[in-house]
Amino acid sequence: MAALLTAAPAGAVPGPGDLPEKKLSSSAQAEVEAAIDNGEIPGVDEIVHSGNIEHVSNTPKDLLPGTNSDLAFQGRYAFSGNYDGFKVFDIKNPKKPKVVAQVLCPGSQNDISVSGDLLFLSTDSSRSDDSCNSTTQPVTEKSSWEGIKIFDISDITRPQYVAAVETACGSHTHTLLPDGDDVYVYVSSYSPNAAYPDCQPPHDGISVIKVPTDAPESAAVVDFPVLFPGEGELGGGNPGSPVNPGVSRTTGCHDITVLPSKNLAAGACMGDGILMDISDPAAPVVIDQVQDNVNFAFWHSATFNLDADKVVFTDELGGGGMATCNAEIGPDRGANGIYDIVGKGHKAELRFVSYFKIPRHQASTENCVAHNGSLIPVKGKDIMVQSWYQGGVSVWEFTDSENPKEIAYFERGPLPNGGGGGTWSTYWYNGYLYSNDMAKGFDVLKLNDRRTNQANSVHLDELNAQTQPKYYRK
């Protein structure tokens, strides 16, 4: 194992998806204990799961104490983002993952992806500079840095930091779009403020970075396409509250998923969901734009189905820090929205069909809401695995868009101190489900179900969930 320690861990500026530590009141703790005693929810740290899921292994956090975030995959390796840097696992034997590298490079959220010999990290916290030795610095200072960091992983045990690109409002998440000898990076960021020198309103688009794979040190922003044209600081996106109470104002995008095989992308952009044509990688064009001002609070992420005639958008009600998987919030808020794609080309439209939310109520102390997931590639079926923070891992089917249903699950009981935690991302990769738990570490699950076993014959060389592959070749 190569441990590359370059700086002491540092804090980060919180945003949606960041989980503040909190202390439980005595009454709330008593409520949780009563629910556990009554068998309504699992016990503290207790693991429960459906009969068709096996918990294969867990690898606790090691040298990186920060919050675990997203995952990416290449060959026999899994790459785990962490607010303090990233970790590389050898998953040749999923029952015994081996840590082969840990890199200390603080910067919220350290959203992670890989392409060939390159690894990309998002920094969405104001830093003193672009190095891995940086410290926190006020966003109001012009010299502060946020953006994309690029590493060379040709030697997987010793990643080398090779380039950095500063982007407006930082990089909360990013999406890779390979194009021949280049990789385009769509950088999602938001929340501008007139007091922030590098994050000025209006911020109604995304930064596009072009990275020559043979010369990543020359990576640079090549455009900032405006996705929500309009007048004034609001642009043409959702105005949010007070016009639409409880809805986030659109000042950028949170996450974008591209489907290169169809030249399509779906954007989850705070108060809006969008469908885009990406046939020109440097200049995405919005085809359709939808809003849900009744049940969606914060459009968080998107996933296409295999036939590219549906998109699942997630709503991160409460920014990932609230207990929303309960009877009080109900089944339609903090859920997934299933949209059909009707029509072709630039005439395609997004049409809402239904919501899906996990049917297992969580304790009032457990942060729970729809979060990151991916398809399980089964021909003729629409099946997805997904993280729900402390709601655990859910496998659900939406082949019948009007009647989605959960078919498998895995979850832990509440954390002992009542703080925020749970699984951030769960993705299917070459026959297994890999889950990054923010507090508990790296979990490997095996799904054994006649409805999904066909997917075991599919093999991928690389997976970034926001760059959806064509799972089946003609």
pLDDT per residue as tens digits for the range 297-323: 999 999 999 999 999 999 999 999 999
Q: Residue 17 has what pLDDT?
A: 34
Q: What is the DSSP string of 138-153?
A: -TTSTT-EEEEEEEE-
Q: How far apart are CA 232 and CA 237, in angstroms?
A: 11
Pairing of the two strands 145-152 and 441-447: unpaired
Say how far residue 5 (Cα) sits from the centre of its chain.
26
Cβ pair 361, 41 in contact under 8 A: yes
pLDDT per residue as tens digits for the range 62-72: 999 999 999 99
Tokens encoding 311: 């998109």
Say how far residue 102 (Cα) sits from the centre of its chain.
21
pLDDT per residue as tens digits for the range 362-400: 999 999 999 999 999 999 999 999 999 999 999 999 999
Could you give the C-alpha distances from 294 to 316, 356, 454, in angstroms and in order?
14, 15, 38
**Mean predicted confidence (pLDDT) in 134-160:** 98
Q: Please give the DSSP secondary-structure letter assigned to residue 421.
A: -
The H or E element spanning position 383 is strand 383-387
* 149 CB burial (10 A radius; 0-12, 13-18, 19+): buried
Q: Residue 37 has what pLDDT?
A: 61
Residue among 357, 394, 360 at smallest CA distance from 376: 394
Cβ pair 383, 395 in contact under 8 A: yes
